[in-house]
Structure 1
Amino acid sequence: MSRDEQSAGKTKQELDRVVFIGRTFEEYNNMFDLRMEELVGKRILDCPGGACSFTAHGSRLGLDITASDITYDHKPDDLERKGLQDIRHAMETIERAKSNYVWDYYGDVEGLSRHRHQALQDCVQHMRELPERYVAAVLPELPFKDEEFDLVLSAHFLFMYSDRLDYDFHKQTIQELLRVASEEVRIFPLTDLTGSRYDHLDRLIHELEAEGLVVTENKVPYEFMRNGSSLLSIRKI
């Protein structure tokens, strides 16, 4: 069996163990404090992209965006079914714990559900139209060249699952994101699933700065999970 076949088999086995839920283009702009003028002419990677519609909407606006995710070797129809199941389960869970969230952006669970469904539908439709924009990969390895992108965005993965992904995995993944970025990596949010700041964030920042990188924590105009209103910017000099 070839390495590609082994990788494909591994990602297929993972589908039931991941949550295929995404955010909209507008949510991304707020989460990552993005402005259209800074995106024009940039090569952008969204990783892991999940069911986010950032690539779909951005591409239709003329932006050069690629998404990468462990799930992308699956057919859009299968991902759509998985996404609908995951949204339904997530909304039921959030309904029971509404006080853990800030509702200024969405209003209520119904508003949140509309955003999640819109992101999913836009994402899978774009997959059908331009499948080459959606590249399957298993972190901490990416199938891209050094500095193939200018800006790399990574949302709702690193730091959030620190209860099951150790520090070495976080460091290796960030190093890989930096490898394929020529300018900057942005990570959002900086909290785990309980809303607590990632325990090893200060250590991580110190080690990255020791490598000559410029690392800053920046407040953003978005908060849904309580305390989740900051991003980490890692810039190459």
Structure 2
Amino acid sequence: MNTEWHEEIARRAALHAVLSDPGRLAVVELLALGDRSPSELSAELQMASNLVAHHVGVLVDHGLVSRRRSEGDRRRTYLHLTPDAAIVPSGWTMPRPRRVLFVCTANSARSHLAAALWRRSSRISVASAGTHPAAAVAPGALAAAARHQLPLRDAKPRLLSDVRRDGDLVVTVCDNAHEEMGDVADLHWSVPDPVPAASDAAFDAAFEEIARRVDDLAPRIAHA
């Protein structure tokens, strides 16, 4: 075997050693479905904040977890898994909801793309909404959907209170919406807003991140 193969084996062994700690494995399990702030992790795990900070620091140092500053409350940081965390298959599943509802602030880009991607991956009904809807869907979102041959159905921003139903699995794809809604949201995906940049690259990056997360979540619900 060549040197690169041995180095990769050593790297993966080190990651498994990091995850042998129950506390760190619990952090990874919670982040498997959605992003969380350190304080949210501490509350859900009933773990002291300094211990959460220690575990997160180790996971960040080993490339399993990444930090992203909130686009809403700049004092807040969201933690999310990196592709390297896929070495540990998660056992998480979600109860099958009546519908999945993707929410962002303006309902003009990320939530529409998420709903369209969900339709492509799951038979469970889906909708999207905004806490403060814009007048129209962002042209960049329409262009990104066209580039990826993804149809956008009923592409019109709608108000959350007009769309939300009992039994929805609410997934926020916007930091501002998540922080405004609080416990109303079931899951949070901290996806950077592509609208301010208004570039193909920004919209494609948002599309790809949402697609990866949808592809991970959909089978967890389907098999639940």
What TM-score, normalized to structure 2? 0.26
Larger gyration radius, structure 1 or structure 2: 2
What TM-score, normalized to structure 1? 0.25
- More helix, by proportion: 2
